[in-house]
Amino acid sequence: MNPINKTPETPDLSKMFEGLPPFIARTDVSYYSGGLLNSKTMANFDSLGTGPAGRVRIGRKIGYEKNSLIAWLEGRATRLS
């Protein structure tokens, strides 16, 4: 929080994922987030129960519903001045 007592704004991160399929593989999160997160970080969040809702497993792959991933990222992000 900055000293002028402004509340942080939540950035609109949905533009990062426009035009993508409805599910994003955990291994692709790093690419689509511009390197902000990697698959190991996402695995850690999932193991703690604090990752995005809507996680699915197909074989050995884990994926996230695109809208749930966007909502989770926006909930964790704050805009810096």
- Whether 8 is in a domain gets the answer no
Cβ atoms 54, 64 nearer than 8 A: yes
Number of domains present in the structure of the chain? 1
Give pLDDT tens digits for 51-78.
999 899 999 999 999 999 988 988 888 8
Q: What is the pLDDT of residue 42?
A: 96
CATH number of the domain where residue 47 is located: 1.10.1660
Higher pLDDT, 39 or 3: 39
- Whether 4 is in a domain gets the answer no
| Lookup result for tokens 């690419």 | 31
- Whether 71 is in a domain gets the answer yes
- Whether 6 is in a domain gets the answer no
Mean pLDDT of the chain: 85
Range of the domain at 38: 14-76
- Helix, strand, coil percentages in the chain from 3-state DSSP, rounded to 5: 40, 15, 45
Higher pLDDT, 19 or 23: 23
- Whether 9 is in a domain gets the answer no
Q: What percent of the chain has pLDDT over 70?
A: 86
- Whether 1 is in a domain gets the answer no
Mean pLDDT of 13-29: 86
- Whether 69 is in a domain gets the answer yes
